[in-house]
Amino acid sequence: MEFTIKSGSPEKQRSACVVVGVFDNRKLSLSAELIDRASQLTLTAPEMTVLVGGMRALGANHRDTKVGILVENAGALTNEWFVNLLDMSVEWKKSDERDGLYVGSDRKSGAPKWTASSVDLVFGSNSQLRALAEVYASDDAGRKFVDDFVAAWVKVMDLDRFELKAPALAGGRGR
């Protein structure tokens, strides 16, 4: 890794730095990686929550996998994902097939209903994220969910749109 050091003198020094073993065997849990990515995008917990739920409801998954798509008809921007995630008639158990995968089965019949990842289930198991999920799962949250999703989506889409930002004035104040 090469970087430039600015010393007290006007001339710059170039130096090479060798980084050995810093990231060896580094493995974050999937939910920790979600939080890390959300932080990098400057998302708040409510913004992260509504974006994950909305994208799952829309069926927007890598390679069109069905993991985490907890809706009957993916493609509609509804709060159904949160309703189904928190449905107490569904019992979640670790999958025998893959680490980090969970199967949600009907408590009465035992029939499998959904497949989810640990990232999906963190919205039901973490107290703060669950509180947010419960807001979006409520019967009257449909409009709030859509409005919050759109606001969070616009925020993410505008993150690298520097031409949209107000230029700083000489006094350090923006528009």
- Average pLDDT of 4-29? 54
For residue range 162-172, list pLDDT tens digits in order: 887 655 555 55
- Average pLDDT of 45-60? 97
Which residues, in sequence order, are CB contacts of 63 under 8 Å at separation 6+?
A: none
The rounded distance, in Å, linking the Cα atoms of 9 and 13 is 10
pLDDT band at 25 (very low <50, low <70, confident <90, very high): low
Q: Residue 79, SS3? A: coil
Q: What pLDDT does 84 receive?
A: 98
Q: What pLDDT does 120 receive?
A: 96
Domain boundaries, the chain: 28-87+120-159
Can you give 140-168 as a three-state secondary structure string?
A: CCHHHHHHHHHHHHHHHHCCCCHHHCCCC
Query: What order of strands is seen across the sheet that includes strand 90-94?
Result: 90-94, 101-106, 112-117
- pTM across the whole model: 0.76
pLDDT band at 133 (very low <50, low <70, confident <90, very high): very high
Q: Is the pLDDT of residue 121 over 70?
A: yes
Q: Is the pLDDT of residue 153 over 80?
A: yes
Fold of 28-87+120-159: Peroxidase; domain 2 (1.10.420)
- Average pLDDT of 139-146? 97
